[in-house]
Amino acid sequence: MTAEKVTEDLSPSPNRLREQRGWYFYDWANSAFPTTVLTVFLGPYLTTIAETAAAGRPYVDVLWFDVRPSAYYSFVVGFSAILQIFLMPVAGALADHTGRKREIMGLFAYLGAGATVCFWFLSGDRYLLGGALFVMASVSFSAAFVVYNSFLPEIAAPDERDRVSAMGWGFGYLGGGLLLAVHLGLFLYHDAFHVAEGDAVRLALASAGLWWGGFTVIPMLRLRNRRALARGSESVGRAVTGTFRQLGRTIVELRRYPLSLAFLVAYLIYNDGVQTVISFSATYADKELGLSQTVRIGAILMVQFVAFGGALLLGRLAASYGAKRVVLGALVAWTGVVAVAYFLPKGAALPFFALGFAIAIVMGGTQALSRSLFSHVIPAGKEAEYYSLYEISDKGSTFLGSFTLGLALQLTDSYRLGIVSLVIFFVVGFVLLAAVNLPRAIRAAGNQVPERL
């Protein structure tokens, strides 16, 4: 592709604006899964299904292993995260090699949406079905999201990518929050609709899949592929193998930038804690605190909208005090949040809402500022390769936290000890990040050190 062609592709035009608007709607569509399914409904419901299957016994059978019903969901999340780590690079390789990004994104999106719709059949003692559907849906979600992100450089010029990306982010919060509000109404007034409570939960889960699949039609119609597989080029299998080789070379090359590697390791650890707290919060509120589904959904709905404001607030603080200091402060806050969660009284909704508000403030800012900090410590021209590692860590690294939590529950059968075990991720992440000499890391990568860091 020539330089003139690139200029033509990225110049303002009605077609490109139409693509951007279509791109926004995939964030609107898929946000139903992390909000309704992952964060609110599935954890407590699948745990209840496993408890029903146990029928008073301390364990259920999972592939010839005895697993406590309380630990089942955490282990399923961890197993799914491992699969995501391996599948996301494959999805990216197929999309880049074939040039059929739209079709591959659609394939994974509809696999995930279809699995989510099938949660309607999750009832009785079908805990294994629930685990299998979750693995399929979550892995497909991550694979589709990798391809979705790869459209951004094609539909937006460099100086407008921040705006386009932020708009997609905002659409995601809005879409996920709106659907969650509908589900809250469904659950609150399920008697008025002559629907049982369990059926209301299954309707919420299945309708999240319908929302995801239905609105995915918009980006499928508006996004377009830029190129196709050239004749005589390497096979798709070799392209996938080559992608793993390139990923290995990138990891090896990281040794030339030990401080950049140290930052990435620190992020891997504390982000593991962040993601595990988010995914476990609804289960903890249900099984340990005994809070109603209404309280849990209301808290998550609040978090949806407060988190965006928290990201903006921490961004402003970073402009005054430096991003590293703000992230370190956020990690102290995360440590406090987990410690306070241990002491929350049973049945008290107000303290849980207050804790959810604190999580929302630090959640968006921790992730947004970590992403911007990482951009300073990677060498120019290697952004895509290094951000592939970052994306894997962001989307698939929760297996450490999930298995740590699952192990704590397996050994102690205590939700409180399980949640407090996550403190280690924030403490270790804080120590590692504090030890990184970011100015030196930035200069080693060949970049200019910003005035405030």
**Reported confidence tier of residue 235, pLDDT bands at 50, 70, 90:** low
Please identify which residue in the block is written with the tokens 């209404």.
294
**How many residues belong to the chain?**
453
Of 385 and 337, the structure prediction assigns the larger pLDDT to 337
pTM value is 0.71
Most confident option among 67-76, 190-199, 214-223, 369-378: 214-223
Query: Structure tokens of 272?
Result: 């593991």
Top-ranked range on mean pLDDT: pick from 122-136, 165-179, 221-235 = 122-136
pLDDT at 2: 38
Rg (C-alpha) for the chain, rounded Å, is 22
